[in-house]
Amino acid sequence: MTELKDTAARPERVFLVGVRTDDIDRDEAESLLRELGGLAKSLGLEPCGSLMAKVRERHAGYFLGSGKVEEIIAAAKADDADSIVFDHPLSPGQQRNWEKDSGLSVYDRHELIIRIFASRARTREASLQVELAQLKYALPRLAHSHGDLMRQRGGRYGNKGSGEQQLELDRREIEKRIADIRDELESLRKSRAVQKKKRERISLPRAAVVGYTNVGKSSLLNAITKATVLAEDKLFATLDPTTRRIAFKSGGTLLVTDTVGFVRNLPHGLVEAFKSTLEEAADADILIHVVDASDPEFESRFATTTKVLAEIGAAGKPTLVAFNKVDLVADRAPLLEAAGRFPGSVIVSVRTGEGLPELLRLAEVLLTADSPETTVRIPDSDYAFVALARREASVIRESREDDASVLVVRIPERLRSRFAPFVVSG
C-alpha cells in the first residue's frame, strides 16, 4: 500500500525546471528560473529544488529527452516535491505524459501565472477575465485533468476517470461558459466606455503608472496620492486598476492610475484578457514607468514592459522613468550612469520619500511640454475659467487688472479652444 504524504500542514512543494534553448542563453535561462521561483512564492508555493535543462532536440512526447525526463523526476522525488513546474510551455499531451510517469502534478509557467491572477482578481470584470483565460487554457487539457484547472476543491467539470461522453458534456459546458463570459465582458466594456466618455468631458489629464511586476507601482501611487492601494512585496500583488487624483502646487490636477505589472512570457490569453486594465496605459496622456533600481536586471525588465506597451498601442507616449528603491542601492554611481541613458528619468524612493517632489514636478512639465506660455485676461463675469485654469492648466503667474484676472499659463491642447476668447498673447 502506497504511503500517503501528509501535506495538510505545509504548502505545496514545487520542483522548478528551467530550460535553455538556442534562443535562450544561460544567463537569460537562469534569470527566468529565478523569476519562476518568485512567481511560485507569490502564490504561496514552496520551491524545494530546481534543475536547468539544455534542449538540444525537442521531443514531441515530453519536450525533453528520456534521460533528462528520468533525471528530473528522480530529482523532484528526492526533494519530496508535490509538483513539477516548467519554465517552458507544455502541450496537453506532454503535461499528461509527465504526470503519468512521475505521479506528481505537472504544469508550466503559463498555468502558474494564471493561478496567480485567479488568486488576485477582486473586481467582477477582473474575475471574469481570469476565468476566461482559465477555461481557454483548460479546454484542450480536459482529458488530462478532467477537473478545475486550478485544482481547487469543488471542480465543476466532472471527476477523473469519466468516459468520453462525460468529456464531451464537459467540453460543451466550458464552451457555453466561455460564450457567456464574453457576452458579459462585452456588456462591461460598453459600460466602461460610457464611464470613459464622462471622464473625458471632465478633461482632466491622466497618467498611467506602468512597469514590471513588483517594482513598487502601487506603493508609488499611495505615496504621491495618499491612497491606500494594496502594496505587497510579491509578484502581481494587485491586478485591478485604481485611479486617484493629485493636485500640483501650481494648481493643475492629474488623475493617476495604477496598472497591472508586466512579466516576461506572459500568457497571450492573459494579455488579451487584461486589455481593459492595460487600456488605462493606452489612453493616458503620460506614462510613469517605474523601474526597480535595486534589480541588477532592470534593463531587461524595462525592455519587456516597453514591448508590451507597444503591443497595446501605448508606444511613443510622453514617459517619465522613475528609478524606485534607491534606498536599497549602496553604490549609486552605476545607477546614475544607467539612468542617464533614459531621457526624462528621476531617482526616487517610495520608502523614504526621496525624489517624489521632483517626480511630480517633472510630470507636470511633461504634461505641458508642448504648451507654450499664454497670457489670458478673464473678466470677473467669466471667473469659472480662472478656476478651470487653476484646476487643469499650469498657472505660472496670476495678477489682477481692473475687473479681470490676468494669468500666464500653459494650457493643455484639449482646452485651448475654450480659452481662445481670453487670450492676450501666446
- Residue 308 sits in a domain whose CATH number is 3.40.50.300
Q: Which residues contact 255 (CB under 8 A, 6 or more apart)?
A: 199, 204, 205, 206, 207, 243, 244, 245
Q: Which of 82, 277, 103 is CA-nearest to residue 189?
A: 277
Cβ atoms of 49 and 79 within 8 Å: the answer is yes
Does residue 116 fall inside a structural domain? no
Judgement on whether residues 313 and 211 belong to the same structural domain of the protein: yes
pLDDT for 160: 44
Judgement on whether residues 302 and 224 belong to the same structural domain of the protein: yes
- How far is the CA of 404 from the CAs of 247, 395, 415, in angstroms? 25, 16, 20
pLDDT (mean) for 37-64: 91
% of the chain beyond a pLDDT of 70: 83
Average pLDDT, the chain: 81
Beta bridge mates, 91: none
Judgement on whether residues 361 and 213 belong to the same structural domain of the protein: yes
Does residue 397 fall inside a structural domain? yes
Does position 158 have pLDDT exceeding 50, yes or no?
A: no
Judgement on whether residues 133 and 269 belong to the same structural domain of the protein: no
Does residue 290 fall inside a structural domain? yes
Q: Which of 72, 81, 76, 145 is CA-nearest to residue 111?
A: 145
Cα separation, 225 vs 206, in Å, equals 13
Cell numbers that stand for 114 in this block: 494564471
- How far is the CA of 421 from the CAs of 318, 342, 374, in angstroms? 29, 40, 12
Listed in sequence order, the DSSP H helices in 146-283 are 164-202, 217-225, 268-273, 275-283
Does residue 159 fall inside a structural domain? yes
Cell numbers that stand for 303 in this block: 525592455
Judgement on whether residues 276 and 220 belong to the same structural domain of the protein: yes
Does residue 2 fall inside a structural domain? no
Cβ atoms of 107 and 17 within 8 Å: the answer is no
- The H-or-E segment that residue 96 falls in is helix 92-102
pLDDT for 46: 95
Judgement on whether residues 228 and 357 belong to the same structural domain of the protein: yes
Does residue 221 fall inside a structural domain? yes
Given 186, 215, 239, the domain boundary residue is 186
What letter would DSSP give residue 3?
Answer: P
pLDDT (mean) for 304-317: 82
pLDDT (mean) for 72-96: 94
Judgement on whether residues 390 and 337 belong to the same structural domain of the protein: no
pLDDT (mean) for 94-103: 93
Give the CATH number for residue 70: 3.40.50.11060
Does position 142 have pLDDT exceeding 80, yes or no?
A: no
Judgement on whether residues 242 and 149 belong to the same structural domain of the protein: no
Cβ atoms of 134 and 114 within 8 Å: the answer is yes
pTM of the predicted model as reported, rounded to 2 decimal places = 0.72
Domain of 79, in residue numbers: 13-108
pLDDT in tens, 365-424: 888 776 788 999 999 999 988 888 887 777 888 899 889 999 988 887 778 888 998 998
Judgement on whether residues 307 and 180 belong to the same structural domain of the protein: no
Indicate the number of domains in the chain: 4
Given 82, 108, 134, the domain boundary residue is 108
Does residue 197 fall inside a structural domain? no
| 150 confidence band (pLDDT: 50, 70, 90) | very low
Q: Highest mean pLDDT: which of 277-281, 318-322, 342-346?
A: 318-322
Given 75, 108, 141, the domain boundary residue is 108
pLDDT (mean) for 126-134: 84
pLDDT in tens, 184-224: 988 988 887 777 666 655 567 888 898 888 888 888 888 88
pLDDT for 426: 66
Does residue 236 fall inside a structural domain? yes
Judgement on whether residues 405 and 358 belong to the same structural domain of the protein: no
Judgement on whether residues 248 and 363 belong to the same structural domain of the protein: yes
Beta bridge mates, 376: 407, 423
Judgement on whether residues 415 and 309 belong to the same structural domain of the protein: no
Q: For the residues of 19-60, what is the DSSP string, one character each?
A: EEBTTB-HHHHHHHHHHHHHHHHHTT-EEEEEEEEE-SS-BT
Higher pLDDT, 244 or 196: 244
